[in-house]
Structure 1
């Protein structure tokens, strides 16, 4: 085998591997389960949680002129000062970082 052909093939393979790796890392989202777990932990600080849900697909969302890919979810928290069924909240979390961007009490 010719050394020039070998080195050219190795360089092309390394460049392709680098490009694929960068493309994969750029588009990686936090899992919806991790986002839900983070939201549950944040809400647990102010009362027990009785239910939660999350939409598993990241959706487009705009806030203050900035575009995000987000997960939407909800939490039902028991209010320690009341005997009713609880308080319901919906949240929006950034799919890339897992940060909660918005919470709305229903």
Structure 2
């Protein structure tokens, strides 16, 4: 085996791995993942009966900072009474930025 071909193959593999890593880091978190995470977090507080999410991230400024956000919500029952929660979630990190009831 020639060392030149070996090193070229190593470089191509490293570049491909880096590009794949970069692509997954720049992509927003899947909306379905965010809804499932919220359901798990709030399942202890109420019986979840419905959920929704806008699947296209929107840009919104909050406290002087621009975020790409998902708007979503949960509907649940607490002591037989319906409760509605709306969320603004950072599309890049998955952190909940605001909760409104």
TM-score with structure 1 length normalisation? 0.73
Residue number in structure 2 paired with 1:44: 43
**Deviation of the 1:16 alpha carbon:** 5.9
Over 2 Å off, 4+ runs: 9-23
Counterpart in the other structure of 1:98: 94
Q: For each residue in 1:53-102, what CA deviation from the matched residue of structure 2 results, as whole angstroms up to 9, or x when unmatched?
A: 111111112211111111111111102164xxx01111111111111111
Counting strand residues as a fraction of each chain, which structure ranks higher?
Answer: 2
- Aligned CA-pair RMSD: 2.5
**Deviation per CA, 1:12-62, whole angstroms, max 9, x where unpaired?**
856864674464134122110000011111221211011111111111122
Unaligned residue ranges in structure 2 (runs of 5+)? none
2:85 maps to what in 1? Answer: 89
Give the equivalent residue in structure 1 for 2:65: 66
Q: How many residue pairs align between the two structures?
A: 100
Any idea what SS the aligned residue of 1:56 has?
A: coil
Structure-2-length-normalised TM-score: 0.76
CA separation in 2, counterparts of 1:98 and 1:60? 15
